[in-house]
Structure 1
């Protein structure tokens, strides 16, 4: 007797969810690899503690706007279900323009205040300086990251989560390579330590945006959705994207501020404790991947 059987609906959910989980998994693997790389630098406890602040501060800032993918995803899925291919293209165009403009403004602000942001959460001055250097380079990639967010919402909405999986594998493989080069040095480039991890991640993010743009040029998608035929910003669509995304953005930022506050509190106990918290959180996030993947599938189908 079978304990359960897979219906057509179950198979379709898995078809959408599994590539998304695979793509998310590559991000977590890179997080663990980055932690291992930074952990081999001199004064590893200071670098790991600073990296913990840097990573969660980056996620806190980015999560406030990366949820634009949720609004884009929901609207695209609805238009796609209605067989309104041109509408899908208009939503993508608006999302890309909106995300890039927001990304430029936010990046200019947070890059300038990166040292202050790091110093606010760091109990140790040296940790604050290291985290500030990391954030300075990491924040530069925000506009390009938000472009990938828009494309991600589009491909999620039309059920092509494999594109995200391919993107995750490529971008995060490049992330490991660039981080190794910029952290330790190589090919005539002097090692930058923890700051190199921020720069490497930003360069990989730019490559990821280029990958998504290249995929969007494939005739299978370009000719069907006509998003480059009339590349324009539609105010009404932007308002709908923001209306759907804003509650999710606030939820995400409060969760991540909670994590960031916890890491800041552990810094009051000691540098080693703060470094250990970063390592534990990096491993802990892996357990959440299946939930995120099935959430993407449900948003697409509903």
Structure 2
């Protein structure tokens, strides 16, 4: 590791061009995240006309995809951390070697995991629901989306490398094209037309498979077309040291995302066993939650990239200044967004098709809780994704998520649902326990400044 050196930047100043760099990174990532969230929302809304079983089934199936993709997310996080730091010192060969390792390790994992959740889908979904129609529809969705997990892994690793080297526009352009293609295919395949019979839930899954295939081909074509560094740079001939460094980050990062993903799945299991209506409301609120998070995710990624590049170049005071600015900014913006959701909650429920009497009685109080969750989760996201992980604090984040989610959040929800017998809105409110514990742990770690370190390897 590089030794720390004194940074001459003023403690209260920001580096030149900081705000333009934030905009160039955050806005494209936020827009792309919003488009992906809109696609997930469209999937649920387009099948909601088929009865409450259809959105519940899509919610379960996509949640299993989400859990498996968390493996990719952990690998991509480690990839992004190291690419950002190596790019900070302009070492393209090491950055490409890291990218290659991330692609290889993830593919080895995605193939068997896809096999398990597809072949055994009927049994796996019994964890979340006992409704036979929901299980049948969810299993159908998984069979028609077999290639999605491998394709998605390739996409998110490539996108993490592009963003970590300062190029957030290419993922946005190609991601936007993919989303619009997917939505168009959804309309056609779900509802039918032009000689095709309506496919329902299967159509939503097939549309996703086709769109993801297009996105992989488009990324490869674009990289070759512009002779990008991911194509032209040479991989290190002896990557053993770098592979060891990568695994030290990737293993805890992947374990962290799996624990978190399985935790969100456990929440769905709890609501699923409370009833199909509760599961449908929870599943329909999820994509809207993702839409709200999209802008903040863009800022968190910009934070991670800029702080990572500064750390890789031993600019430690500059990194600390940026972290302080990001925390203050995210806190203020999250309060504003929470107030907007509160003020327009009735219109939001109508837009989500949650104004039906059976669903409204559960969704109306839940969205009030959601406004409080929103502000705390946004602050947690920028501290964890944008700051702590940028400095390699993956092992801490693993421990923190385990404590906050598995020792506090999930037991509290299970107690409220199955022992205390509380109604949906009160059980939903218990999700706050995880976020409050997480904020306390993360902010304390942030103040300790153990994340301020250079993770790059000195030349052998």
TM-score, with length taken from structure 2? 0.59
Q: How much has 1:36 moved relative to structure 2?
A: 1.4
Aligned to 2:143: 136
Which of structures 1 and 2 has the larger relative contact order (alpha carbons within 8 angstroms, sep 6+)?
1
User: What secondary structure is seen at the aligned counterpart in 2 of 1:186?
Assistant: coil
- What pairs up with 1:28-107 in 2 under 5 angstroms? 28-41=37-50, 44-107=51-114
Aligned to 2:456: none
Aligned to 1:192: 199
Q: How much has 1:176 moved relative to structure 2?
A: 0.9
1:290 aligns to 2:295 (yes or no): yes
- What pairs up with 1:227-238 in 2 under 5 angstroms? 227=233, 234-238=239-243
Q: What are the superposed Cα offsets for residues 6-56 of structure 1, whole Å, 9 maximum, x if unpaired?
A: 962122122211111111010011111111111122xx1010111111121
The verdict on how the C-alpha distance between 1:276 and 1:299 changes in structure 2, with shifts beyond 3 A counting, is: same
The verdict on how the C-alpha distance between 1:242 and 1:272 changes in structure 2, with shifts beyond 3 A counting, is: same
Aligned to 2:438: none
User: What secondary structure is seen at the aligned counterpart in 2 of 1:83?
Assistant: coil
* Whole-angstrom distance in 1 between the partners of 2:120 and 2:241: 33
The verdict on how the C-alpha distance between 1:6 and 1:241 changes in structure 2, with shifts beyond 3 A counting, is: closer
Q: What are the superposed Cα offsets for residues 186-209 of structure 1, whole Å, 9 maximum, x if unpaired?
A: 344332211221221121111111
Aligned to 1:226: 232
Do 1:68 and 1:149's aligned partners in 2 also have CA atoms closer than 8 Å?
no
Do 2:31 and 2:295's aligned partners in 1 also have CA atoms closer than 8 Å?
no
Do 1:182 and 1:200's aligned partners in 2 also have CA atoms closer than 8 Å?
yes
Q: How much has 1:159 moved relative to structure 2?
A: 0.8
1:167 aligns to 2:167 (yes or no): no
* Whole-angstrom distance in 1 between the partners of 2:225 and 2:137: 42
The verdict on how the C-alpha distance between 1:142 and 1:236 changes in structure 2, with shifts beyond 3 A counting, is: farther
Unaligned segments of structure 1, at least 5 residues? none
Q: How much has 1:63 moved relative to structure 2?
A: 0.7
* Whole-angstrom distance in 2 between the partners of 1:269 and 1:35: 20
Instruction: Single out whichever of 85-94 and 154-163 deviates more from structure 2.
Output: 85-94
1:278 aligns to 2:283 (yes or no): yes
Do 2:34 and 2:295's aligned partners in 1 also have CA atoms closer than 8 Å?
no
Aligned to 2:158: 151
Q: How much has 1:163 moved relative to structure 2?
A: 1.4
What is the aligned counterpart of 1:110 among 110, 117, 133?
A: 117
Q: What are the superposed Cα offsets for residues 106-128 of structure 1, whole Å, 9 maximum, x if unpaired?
A: 22233222222222211212211
Instruction: Single out whichever of 196-205 and 251-260 deviates more from structure 2.
Output: 251-260
Do 1:92 and 1:150's aligned partners in 2 also have CA atoms closer than 8 Å?
yes
The verdict on how the C-alpha distance between 1:247 and 1:293 changes in structure 2, with shifts beyond 3 A counting, is: farther
* Whole-angstrom distance in 1 between the partners of 2:175 and 2:160: 14
* Whole-angstrom distance in 2 between the partners of 1:186 and 1:231: 52
Aligned to 2:21: 12
1:241 aligns to 2:246 (yes or no): yes
Q: How much has 1:213 moved relative to structure 2?
A: 0.8
The verdict on how the C-alpha distance between 1:22 and 1:221 changes in structure 2, with shifts beyond 3 A counting, is: same
The verdict on how the C-alpha distance between 1:12 and 1:108 changes in structure 2, with shifts beyond 3 A counting, is: same
Number of residue pairs the alignment of both structures matches: 294
The verdict on how the C-alpha distance between 1:26 and 1:242 changes in structure 2, with shifts beyond 3 A counting, is: farther
Q: How much has 1:73 moved relative to structure 2?
A: 1.1
* Whole-angstrom distance in 2 between the partners of 1:171 and 1:177: 10
The verdict on how the C-alpha distance between 1:161 and 1:276 changes in structure 2, with shifts beyond 3 A counting, is: same
* Whole-angstrom distance in 1 between the partners of 2:303 and 2:224: 27
Aligned to 2:36: 27
User: What secondary structure is seen at the aligned counterpart in 1 of 2:166?
Assistant: coil
* Whole-angstrom distance in 1 between the partners of 2:74 and 2:259: 13
The verdict on how the C-alpha distance between 1:103 and 1:256 changes in structure 2, with shifts beyond 3 A counting, is: closer
TM-score, with length taken from structure 1? 0.87
Do 1:23 and 1:165's aligned partners in 2 also have CA atoms closer than 8 Å?
yes
